[in-house]
Amino acid sequence: MDTANSPNNCCQFDILCTQLVIKCNFLTSSFIFATQNFKGLENLDLYIESLIFTSSKPLNIEDIHHTLNTHFETKISEEDLLGSIENLKVKYSDPSFSFEIIEIAQGYQFMSKGAYYPIIGQYLKLESKKKLSRAALETLAIISYKQPITKTGMESIRGVNCDYSVQKLLDKELVCIIGRADGPGRPLLYGTTEKFMNHFGLKNLKELPQLKEFDIESNSVGSKEEE
């Protein structure tokens, strides 16, 4: 009796083929994953550089370590991590760069080099002199006392269009959009920001002076701009 083509043999052959395919897929996936991890480690300096550049505050070693390990699903040694950071510090110490990576507040951050402080200081000084116009100050006062308030509400108090003044205040981050009103068209609602509180030395809105005490000149934000 010929058993080569018996049902049992055919069934066993199919099972073996299926197992072989599964093993091949597993090995292929493992190879791809290992390759991705290898490339990640190969470009470790660049990944760390992107994290430090993106962070608005000093980025500590623990956060960098956790982010990389989570992303690559592997354990990167602290020695490799510190080595990459040292490579970046050496790279940006080159005179062709106007900024560098420094260790500050138990973390790492990009900072301008000392040689460029004077020109940066000059820029900041000029920026600080770009003060608000009287119209913008009036609009700011209305927002601070009447918030949340719509642009239509401001204009009903001032009696003129407030588009330009509101945009200036938004640009200087003294006011922000905090929501929408429930009326027709759901107009935007405006309120003051933390920067406004810091600039005027206020802990909260209850510390705003009474309207009769409000002195526009002493509370001005920079020199007057042309309207």
- Do 17 and 84 reside in the same domain of the chain? yes
Count of domains forming the chain: 2
| Tens digit of each residue's pLDDT, the chain (227 residues) | 455 555 555 556 555 555 555 554 544 444 444 444 445 577 899 999 999 999 988 999 999 999 999 988 888 888 999 999 999 999 999 999 999 999 998 899 999 999 999 999 888 778 766 778 899 999 999 999 999 999 999 999 999 999 999 998 998 889 999 999 998 889 999 999 998 988 888 888 888 887 665 555 544 555 554 44
Kindly state the tokens that stand for 11.
């069934």
Give the pLDDT confidence score for residue 211 in this predicted structure.
61
What is the pTM assigned to this prediction?
0.48
- Do 92 and 51 reside in the same domain of the chain? yes
- Do 107 and 136 reside in the same domain of the chain? no
Give the pLDDT confidence score for residue 115 in this predicted structure.
94
d(CA 2, CA 5): 7
Running DSSP on this structure, what letter comes out for residue 129?
A: T
Residue 218 forms part of a structural domain: no
Residue 118 forms part of a structural domain: no
- Do 136 and 101 reside in the same domain of the chain? no
d(CA 165, CA 138): 9
- Do 97 and 190 reside in the same domain of the chain? no
d(CA 91, CA 101): 9
Q: Is the peptide bond before 148 cis (omega within 30 degrees of 0)?
A: yes
- Do 16 and 107 reside in the same domain of the chain? yes
- Do 108 and 136 reside in the same domain of the chain? no
d(CA 67, CA 183): 45
- Do 105 and 147 reside in the same domain of the chain? no
209 CB-side CA count, 13 A? 11
CATH of the domain at 32: 1.10.10.10
- Do 89 and 143 reside in the same domain of the chain? no
Give the pLDDT confidence score for residue 204 in this predicted structure.
86
Boundaries of domain holding 163: 131-213
